[in-house]
Structure 1
Amino acid sequence: MTELRTDRLVLRRWRDSDLAPWAAMNADPEVREHLGDLLTREQSDASVARFRAEFEQRGHGWWAVEVAATGEFIGFAGLDPVDDGLPFDGVEIGWRLARPAWGHGYATEAASAVLAFGFDTLRLPEILAVTTATNFRSQAVMRRIGMTRDPDGDFDDPTAPEGSLRPQVLYRIARGTEG
């Protein structure tokens, strides 16, 4: 199993001890602001079961992220095939952190490690990122890791409810252009 390490973070396989803090994140309206409805504990646990199964199948996916110095679980980061029904194909990078972990550069640090894994280990030709048009924090991380917005790829997510979650923006980065 591939574990990724940075100066401050460990991206690792999910543990049962991650379930409660992950559920708390998924029940936090600010964390879920650009993602949709809050998740119940059962829905949150089911997402981890999917992450674990996908990791077993592919050898990568959504890693749990912890602070190396303390072992504290702070969220997830990883790579996943683009959802069916979107107007493009490829592999998407993503991250989600608990609110106390915001503003410390952890998302950029974790995303940079995931990007390097995608290009250096998986030899992906390109990595995509998608978020709501109003999720400026995630878009800032995308720019910090060298991604460029593709306005021709912006779209309305038909699975999202009407409103601010529907307009989506697409960012891209090609192997060899990361910095």
Structure 2
Amino acid sequence: MAGMVTLHGPRVTLRPWRLPDDLAPLHALNGDPAVMRHFPEVMDRATSDAWARRLDGHFTQHGWGFWVVETPDASLAGVVGLMHIPWQAPFTPAVEIGWRIAAAQQRQGLAEEAARLALAYGFGPLGLDRIVAFTPPANEPSWRLMEKLGLARQGEFTHPRLPADHRLNPHLWYRITREDWMAARLED
């Protein structure tokens, strides 16, 4: 794991993957209908394990990605981070910020704290020019967090990995530039 970045906040640690140890708690997260209500379906164990391996592979390639969120109470309270988007959309190529937090840890500000750490890393050491995020319109908690983080709504798009008539299509997409992020930090 040398060279892989770990980020620390007051209540959360964002750390690289520890496979296979993280597979069972990740499946508990991905298999929870409350957590996955704005995703196409809950994940079975094989699908969840494959997703973990893709996330870990991004870490192996880049040294950063979607981190495991640890808290004093949970070794895997969620997944938050940055990742290259592997499909085509009006805003790609791009790096996305995303989050998925366990139901027991939601509405405690953990996703916001973790996402702020990820944004600071993306615009700081990584030197990214912009970061995007996306979600179905029905996922109000997620797009409200995007706005709270300073991302601005850019419009809608049809998610290429979902059928056009799927209940979760279209998606909203948001963007924040390094300049906007820096300006907001100067105002604080």
- Does TM, normalized by the shorter one, top 0.5? yes
Deviation at 1:126, TM superposition (A): 0.6
Task: Return the match for 1:102 from 97, 101, 106.
Answer: 106
Q: Give the structure 2 partner of residue 20 of structure 1.
A: 24
Cα deviation 1:107-155 (Å, max 9, x = unaligned): 100000000000001100110001111110101110111111112xx11
Separation of aligned partners in 2, 1:120 and 1:49: 26
SS at match of 2:21: helix
**1:80-99 alignment to 2 at 5 Å?**
80-89=83-92, 90-99=94-103
Separation of aligned partners in 1, 2:42 and 2:159: 18
Deviation at 1:71, TM superposition (A): 4.7
Separation of aligned partners in 1, 2:107 and 2:142: 12
Q: Give the structure 2 partner of residue 159 of structure 1.
A: 161
The answer to whether 1:58 aligns with 2:62 is yes
The answer to whether 1:176 aligns with 2:179 is yes
RMSD: 1.3
Separation of aligned partners in 2, 1:17 and 1:47: 14
Contact 2:87-2:160 within 8 A present in 1 as well: no
Separation of aligned partners in 1, 2:75 and 2:112: 18
Identity %: 39
Contact 1:4-1:12 within 8 A present in 2 as well: yes
Q: Give the structure 2 partner of residue 76 of structure 1.
A: 79
SS at match of 1:64: strand
Task: Return the match for 2:143 from 139, 144, 151.
Answer: 139
Q: Give the structure 2 partner of residue 126 of structure 1.
A: 130
Separation of aligned partners in 2, 1:81 and 1:133: 22
| TM-score normalised by the chain length of structure 2 | 0.89
Deviation at 1:103, TM superposition (A): 0.4
Contact 1:158-1:166 within 8 A present in 2 as well: no
> Number of residue pairs matched?
176
Separation of aligned partners in 1, 2:150 and 2:26: 28
Separation of aligned partners in 1, 2:63 and 2:166: 36
The answer to whether 1:34 aligns with 2:70 is no
Deviation at 1:87, TM superposition (A): 2.0
SS at match of 1:112: helix
SS at match of 1:72: strand
Separation of aligned partners in 2, 1:71 and 1:164: 32
Cα deviation 1:141-176 (Å, max 9, x = unaligned): 10111111112xx11224224243111001110103
> In structure 2, do the counterparts of structure 1 residues 40 and 138 end up closer, same or farther at CA, with 3 Å as the change threshold?
same
**Structure 1 gaps, min length 5:** none
The answer to whether 1:49 aligns with 2:53 is yes
Separation of aligned partners in 2, 1:33 and 1:86: 23
AA in 2 matched with 1:133: P
Q: Give the structure 1 partner of residue 120 of structure 2.
A: 116
AA in 2 matched with 1:5: H
Separation of aligned partners in 2, 1:93 and 1:107: 11
Contact 2:16-2:64 within 8 A present in 1 as well: no
